[in-house]
Amino acid sequence: MAVVTSIINLKGGVGKTTLTLALAHYLAGEHSKRVLVIDLDPQTNATIALVTERRWRERDQSGQTLYQLFKDQLDGTHNFNAHESILTRVSNVSGGIPGLDLLPSSIRLHRIQDKITKISDLDTFRSTTTYALREALRDIMPHYDHVLIDCPPNLGIITLNGIAISRYFLIPVVPDILSTLGVPLVLDRMADFALRAQHEIFGLGIVVSRFRPTSRLHKQTVDSMRRYAIPGIHPPIFNSIITEDIEVAEAADVEEQVMSLRQKFGGSGPHKQFSALADEYLRYVGG
Ligand SMILES: Nc1ncnc2c1ncn2[C@@H]1O[C@H](COP(=O)(O)OP(=O)(O)OP(=O)(O)O)[C@@H](O)[C@H]1O
Ligand SMILES: [Mg+2]
């Protein structure tokens, strides 16, 4: 059965999508794992970084995105088809990476987010809407070794759909004061969900991203996060740290073909960091 991990933080811009994309690339491209990326974010950043805008628009127009899944919840219809919506062999590395698949999002999700919240308001943890993704992917899951879920920066009903199928969660943080403040809140909400939905979900770790080696604040924050990590309560900090590097931002471009992960993620630094991060991830999940 697939190892399912949500990449989550209530704070925006901390590197959730970047981490999801990089892990997916290295698990599929370096370790030959069968990987499904689920883009739960109406911003569609992960989608647009894995397939060209043209390919995504075709899917969007024919209702083959996660928008359809949630629209069905509102309309009481069953039009979403997971098999038909998943895009296979995605990425611009070597014409597409075998085993790297995507369940795309749609910016149309923005429009119906509030309505979906309303229909599930009475008892979120029993609402069928919270488990719509789980039901839709029931037959799909056994085909993958790893499922990585890129969550939006909130814990709304769409995110809860990802949490409800996840065994683990990863929290990317930028090591500054405002970004780390939100971590206890995420842990608290995950524990609450686990209790109320009776669903075990484990904090796999905190991944430091956009680290600036020249910043005293960044160094001090990482040190203190390591010192105060409490085994069993506070998830550990990954040994692999991702530094701020323009090549990481550029790796989100999917329009131009590249030949290797090294070329995509940036010759020396980022490539080695993401490769080490994927190794560490596999050690923790035992995959
Ligand atoms: N290590 C890095 N070095 C340089 N730029 C980075 C790095 N990580 C992320 N970025 C850039 O920072 C911005 C935010 O990153 P990203 O989109 O991954 O964050 P996010 O947490 O998914 O944001 P959101 O909450 O909006 O979904 C992006 O423009 C991305 O390219
Ligand atoms: Mg994002």
Among 181-195, 204-218, 250-264, name the one with the lowest average pLDDT. Answer: 181-195
Instruction: List C-alpha distances in Å: 63 to 34, 57, 102, 249.
Output: 25, 10, 15, 29
The tally of CA atoms less than 13 A away on the side-chain side of residue 231 is 0
Superfamily of domain 3-285: P-loop containing nucleotide triphosphate hydrolases (3.40.50.300)
Q: pLDDT tens digits for 230-260?
A: 665 678 899 999 999 999 999 999 999 999 9
Atom of ligand 1 nearest to the CA of 209: 1
User: Cβ(44) to ligand 1 under 6 A?
Assistant: no
User: Residue 228 — very low, low, confident or very high, per pLDDT cuts 50/70/90?
Assistant: confident
Mean pLDDT of 41-67: 96
* Residue 252 token pair: 């989100």
Which residue, by CA, sits nearest to atom 29 of ligand 1?
249
Q: pLDDT tens digits for 192-203?
A: 989 988 899 999
pTM for the full predicted model:
0.96
Mean pLDDT of 156-184: 92
Placement of tokens 């924050």 in the chain: 221
CB of 82 closer than 8 Å to CB of 120:
no
* pLDDT, mean over the chain: 93
Mean pLDDT of 26-35: 98
Among 32-41, 86-95, 231-240, 257-266, name the one with the lowest average pLDDT. Answer: 231-240
Among 97-101, 109-113, 143-147, 206-210, name the one with the lowest average pLDDT. Answer: 109-113
* Residue 54 token pair: 């043209």
In angstroms, how far is the first alpha carbon of the chain from the final one?
Answer: 11
User: Cβ(16) to ligand 1 under 6 A?
Assistant: yes
Q: In what order do the strands lie in the sheet with 35-39?
A: 100-103, 35-39, 146-150, 3-7, 168-173, 202-208
Q: Is 243 left (phi over 0), alpha (psi -120 to 50) or beta?
A: beta
The tally of CA atoms less than 13 A away on the side-chain side of residue 200 is 1
User: Residue 122 — very low, low, confident or very high, per pLDDT cuts 50/70/90?
Assistant: low
User: Domains of the chain: which residue ranges?
Assistant: 3-285
Mean pLDDT of 127-143: 94
Looking at the DSSP bridge assignments, the partners of residue 208 are 173
User: Cβ(179) to ligand 1 under 6 A?
Assistant: no
Q: Is the pLDDT of residue 64 over 80?
A: yes
* pLDDT attached to residue 138: 96
Higher pLDDT, 266 or 212: 212
* pLDDT attached to residue 121: 65
User: Cβ(18) to ligand 1 under 6 A?
Assistant: yes
User: Cβ(159) to ligand 1 under 6 A?
Assistant: no
* pLDDT attached to residue 132: 96
Q: CA 227, 233, 234, 239 torsion: positive or negative?
A: positive
CB of 168 closer than 8 Å to CB of 6:
yes
C-alpha 113/C-alpha 55 separation (Å) is: 24
* pLDDT attached to residue 233: 65
In the reported structure, the alpha carbon of residue 195 is separated from the centroid of ligand 1 by a whole-number distance in angstroms of 31
* pLDDT attached to residue 127: 80
Q: Is the pLDDT of residue 39 over 70?
A: yes
* pLDDT attached to residue 268: 75
* Residue 219 token pair: 């160094």
User: Cβ(21) to ligand 1 under 6 A?
Assistant: no
Q: Distance between alpha carbon 130 and the CA centroid of its chain, in Å?
A: 18
Which residue, by CA, sits nearest to atom 30 of ligand 1?
249
* pLDDT attached to residue 119: 75
| Sequence-distant (≥ 6) Cβ neighbours of residue 172 within 8 angstroms | 7, 9, 14, 15, 16, 18, 19, 206, 207, 208, 209
